[in-house]
Structure 1
């Protein structure tokens, strides 16, 4: 599959997410992952309230791509981020089991929107961004079901926005999922591939 990639070096992914890396590798793109070293919470705080969820995701994705691109100006860099929007609020990673249970209780029986953004950087600067959205609806879940999931999912429930990791046990929580699969997983592949094609980095 590497024959599809025309770059002189592997694509740099400004993320340590195994899911995002697997999405790119599944599309035949050789990838090297680099931790961007961006404090997302501090950056979000500096942006201030009132920013649309999609714009926030794009800003965070761009900051990650730019941070890595500054260190590797001769490489093509991809940054990505995802923001969960629910009732005009952006929900982050719960961090604790109790917070995960609270988030899932709020989302149960309701719909929310995932905004996934990707930013591409070349020559040390961000050259393009794209935002895709998906709409997800959780089943009606009682406290016992939520507690069972959080216990079974373990760390995965604590480090995913909303308290679920849909590519794992979290799929059991949903009644409806509307959106492109990679968008839901946090790296919208279709616009990513389109941007790489514009740079003549893909043979297909």
Structure 2
């Protein structure tokens, strides 16, 4: 069996980021989301998308899954900019994978991106260790995060995150049964 490596196109990765940004803008419900969208346009997410589509050898993601994860990550970053540290925000699993990769692929770039987006470094916390510092309800906090996403971006955006269509999302009951929950969130300290 011959392994053929795909050709990575920077233009294709930039096009994917533009498409994710177009979805973010399309789903945005107010000037607040659009204003943060201007900051998001200053961040280059193409290396992260490249990792999931081309470098992740065990199970590379499809373009559609990567697009959904990037769009979800952009929306999650918006929620952090508005609600952190007052609300305990928990991303879906694909968004969390995107976040981990953003942090670890180039830590110095993640730090610079946080400065652009929030004005401070955004720490990441796994809730496998959170019991020592605070109470944690992953399903409840995740449900609240989904309500905030719906408030700011609508049902269609939640369907995009669920990798499904708006009709299924609208009729399937709680979104927590459609989207896999992460066990991570931002740390509440800002130092």
More strand by share: 1
TM-score when scaled to structure 2?
0.28
So what's the TM-score if we normalise by structure 1? 0.27
| Greater helix share, structure number | 2
Structure with the larger RCO, 1 or 2 (CA within 8 Å, 6+ apart): 2
